[in-house]
Amino acid sequence: MSQAVSKLNHSEQAEQAHERIVHIRKTNYVAKMLKQNPFELLRILHVGLTTFHYRYIRRCVGAGTIVGRWVQIVNANNVKIGQNCLFQDGVYMRAGNQGWITIGDRAAFNSYTKLFAHGGIEVGEEVQIGPGSLITTTDHDYYDENLQTVFKKVTIGKRAWLGANVTVLPGVTIGEYSVIGAGAVVNKDIPPRSIAVGVPAKVIKSL
């Protein structure tokens, strides 16, 4: 029992030490950047304000998550974002009144990524999404006179990496650890640990 407790303490201590190292690295990085270009301070302040807004006022992002400038999270009540994620400038997320978005810890969204989540979007831990990518959950019934909307959930598995300008269509599941090449349009499920490229995306390799 006491051995188990001591093991737990060791792993907790290791985790705390790791967090301290990460913190020091981040501080050193910011100090170096400010020395090279003091105007970067304005950008950092803007990022700080946006992060504060979504963490403490809208309460939809976890501890350690950084929210870049001009990020917009619409229907933030239906959005739950984990810890230590990164949202670069201009990411746009719309959950819709009935939709939802959940994002796991340590996920990263590059600039100007767009998520339209009326049918629900689930993003796993450590997912990386390239700049300009778009995930949509909305289809329209083209036989219907009014182009009735049809919503279908999208799932992006843990540690998947989507390159720049990838489009993910409604109902798609991208498997864990998969890679989607830049510019792909994903209209069908991609199995875990696959590399898929092109329009429409086809698997070219397994990992």
Ligand X SMILES: CC(C)(COP(=O)(O)OP(=O)(O)OC[C@H]1O[C@@H](n2cnc3c(N)ncnc32)[C@H](O)[C@@H]1OP(=O)(O)O)[C@@H](O)C(=O)NCCC(=O)NCCS
Active site residue 118: no
Any contact of residue 181 with ligand X (CB under 6 A)?
yes
Any contact of residue 130 with ligand X (CB under 6 A)?
yes
Tell me if 50 sits within 8 A of 68, measured CB to CB. Answer: yes
Any contact of residue 200 with ligand X (CB under 6 A)?
no
Phi-psi region of 44 (alpha: psi -120 to 50; beta: other; left: phi over 0): alpha
Which neighbouring-strand residues pair with 102?
80, 122
Any contact of residue 197 with ligand X (CB under 6 A)?
yes
Cβ-based nearer residue to ligand X, 170 or 181: 181
Any contact of residue 185 with ligand X (CB under 6 A)?
no
Cβ 190 to ligand X shortest distance, Å: 12
Q: How far apart are CA 182 and CA 153, in angstroms?
A: 22
- DSSP per-residue letters across 143-192: TSTT--EEE--EEE-TT-EE-TT-EE-TT-EEPTT-EE-TT-EE-S-B-T
Per-residue mark of binding to ligand X, 133-162 (x: CB under 6 A): ------------------------------
User: Which are the catalytic amino acids?
Assistant: 140
Give contact residues for ligand X (rule: CB under 6 A). Answer: 110, 130, 163-164, 179, 181-183, 195, 197-198, 204
